[in-house]
Amino acid sequence: METIASFGEFALIARLAQGITASAQRTDIAVGIGDDCAVLDLGSELLLLATTDSQVEGVHFTLSTATTEQIGRKALAVNLSDIAAMGGTPRYALVSLILPASTSLATLDGVYAGLRQEAECYATALVGGNIASAGTQLVIDITLLGAIERGHVLTRSGARPGDILCVTGTLGASAGGLQTLLQPDLPYAAQALEYVRMCHCTPQPRVQEGRVLSWFGPTVVTALLDISDGLSGDLAHLCESSNVGVRLESATIPLSPELCSIAKCIAHDPLDWALHGGEDYELLFSVAPDYVSSVIDAVQAATGTPVTQIGTICAAHDGLMLFGLDGGVAPLRVKSWDHLR
C-alpha cells in the first residue's frame, strides 16, 4: 500500500490540486492554490487574501521547549508571514483548536494569551474558531484573512531574467536556535543563544516590509514569497512559478554574528542553516534591476529592516546555480524542510 510518506509534501499538494485547477475557471479567484495566499475578488477595491497553516504538537513545537505564549504567537506569526508574502494587510483570524482532554486550562490560556498578543501587534482580530477534543496531540490551526489593493498583489510567478534577488533580515537563525534546543549542553555565548532561540520560538513576520514592497506593484517587485521551508526550497518555488533560473551568491547571504557564534560552538556551517534550515520567515523577492536601490532604501527607511542582494534571476535553462565562497559554481542543492519526510 502506497502511503503519503513515499510522496514529498509538494508532490502531494500538486496531486491534490490536480483535480481542482481544471474546475477553477472563476473570475472571482485571482490566485488559487500554489501561492502563499489565495487572492479572492468579492467586488470591492480591496482583494481578499486567505491562507491557512497549522502547528502540531510534537511536529512544530513541544510543550517542553517553548512556552505556551510562544506557541500561540508562532501559530499566528506563520500565517501573518503568508499575508506579508503577498504584500497584504492582515485583518481577521479564525482559530481551530484540537485539544487532548487532558489539556490544562493554564496551557490553553497561555496559548490564547500568545495569540492575542500577536494579533494585537498586527491589528488582526480573532473573529471565529472551533474547538474539538481529540485525545492525542494539541493542534492549532489558523486561517488568516487579509486585504490587498487591486493591482498591487505580489505573487511568486513574476520574476524575469535580469531581476535582482533580495532578502530581508538574516537567514539561518531559526535553524540554529532549533539546534541549540536539541543540543542544549554546549558552551554557547549567552547573548547569541538568547537571540537564536528567540528567532526560532517567536519569529517576526515581515508584514510592514511586505506592505512597502506592495507599494511598488508587480512591475517593479516582480516576485515575492516568504522563507518558511528554507532559502533553497523557497527559491526553487520562486523559480518554478516564474519559470526562471537563478545565480545565488553564497558570499552575500546575510548571516547574523549570533548565528555564526552558535554555529562555531556546534561546529556546523552556518551557511547550511541559512540555505536549508527553514522557519526564518524572511521575505525573498526579485526586483527589476533599475529599481533595486529605491526598493531597498524604501524598505530600510520605513521599517529599519536590512535588505540584502543575494543573486540574479536568469533564464530557466540556466537552472539554479550556487556561486560558492571559493569562487566555484555548482547546482543549488534544494534540501528544505518537508513535513512528510
Q: How far is the CB of 50 from a copy of itself (least distance, A)?
A: 6
Q: How far is the CB of 118 from a copy of itself (least distance, A)?
A: 13
Instruction: Give, as ranges, the residues between 149 and 178 that touch a copy of itself (CB under 8 A).
Output: none
Closest by CA to 279, choosing from 139, 11, 77, 5, is 77
Among the listed residues 71, 75, 83, 145, the single contact to a copy of itself using CB under 8 A: 145
- For strand 244-249 and strand 320-323, is the pairing parallel, antiparallel, or unpaired? parallel
Residue 33 in contact with residue 20, Cβ under 8 Å? yes
Is 94 an interacting residue with respect to a copy of itself (CB under 8 A)? Answer: yes
Is 121 an interacting residue with respect to a copy of itself (CB under 8 A)? Answer: no
Q: Using the minimum distance from each CB to a copy of itself, give the nearer residue, 80 or 164.
A: 80
Pick the piece of the chain touching a copy of itself (CB under 8 A) from 88-96, 152-160, 165-173, 309-317: 88-96
Among the listed residues 68, 70, 73, 91, the single contact to a copy of itself using CB under 8 A: 91
Query: Which residues, 6 or more positions from 43, have their beta carbon under 8 angstroms from its beta carbon?
Result: none
Pick the piece of the chain touching a copy of itself (CB under 8 A) from 108-116, 162-170, 277-285, 307-315: 108-116
Euclidean distance between CA atoms 329 and 28, whole angstroms = 44
Q: Using the minimum distance from each CB to a copy of itself, give the nearer residue, 84 or 262.
A: 84
**Over the range 275-303, which residues count as b (16 or more CB within 10 Å of their CB) and which as e?**
bbbbbbbbbbbbbbeebbeebbebbeeeb
Q: Which three cell numbers stand for residue 169?
A: 533580515
Is 266 an interacting residue with respect to a copy of itself (CB under 8 A)? Answer: no
Q: Report which residue type is found at 304.
A: G
Is 191 an interacting residue with respect to a copy of itself (CB under 8 A)? Answer: no
Among the listed residues 68, 74, 80, 134, the single contact to a copy of itself using CB under 8 A: 134
Residue 39 in contact with residue 31, Cβ under 8 Å? yes
Is 11 an interacting residue with respect to a copy of itself (CB under 8 A)? Answer: no
Number of Cα atoms under 13 Å in the Cβ half of residue 259? 25
Euclidean distance between CA atoms 296 and 287, whole angstroms = 10
Cell 548571516 found at = 255
Residue 168 Cα to chain centre, angstroms: 12
Among the listed residues 69, 70, 80, 92, the single contact to a copy of itself using CB under 8 A: 92
State in Å, rounded, how far the first CA of the chain is from the last one.
Answer: 17
Is 194 an interacting residue with respect to a copy of itself (CB under 8 A)? Answer: no
Is 137 an interacting residue with respect to a copy of itself (CB under 8 A)? Answer: yes
Is 129 an interacting residue with respect to a copy of itself (CB under 8 A)? Answer: yes
Is 108 an interacting residue with respect to a copy of itself (CB under 8 A)? Answer: yes
Is 128 an interacting residue with respect to a copy of itself (CB under 8 A)? Answer: yes
CA distances from 1 to 5, 17, 227 (A): 11, 22, 34
Instruction: Give, as ranges, the residues between 22 and 81 that touch a copy of itself (CB under 8 A).
Output: 23-24, 26, 28-29, 32-33, 37-38, 40, 42-46, 48, 50-54, 56, 58-60
Is 323 an interacting residue with respect to a copy of itself (CB under 8 A)? Answer: no
Q: How far is the CB of 318 from a copy of itself (least distance, A)?
A: 31
Q: How far is the CB of 104 from a copy of itself (least distance, A)?
A: 5
Query: Which residues, 6 or more positions from 21, have their beta carbon under 8 angstroms from its beta carbon?
Result: 32, 33
Among the listed residues 62, 131, 186, 335, the single contact to a copy of itself using CB under 8 A: 131
Q: How far is the CB of 68 from a copy of itself (least distance, A)?
A: 13
What phi and psi values does residue 80 have, to the nearest 5 degrees? -60, -35
Number of Cα atoms under 13 Å in the Cβ half of residue 333? 11
Q: How far is the CB of 327 from a copy of itself (least distance, A)?
A: 40
Q: How far is the CB of 32 from a copy of itself (least distance, A)?
A: 5
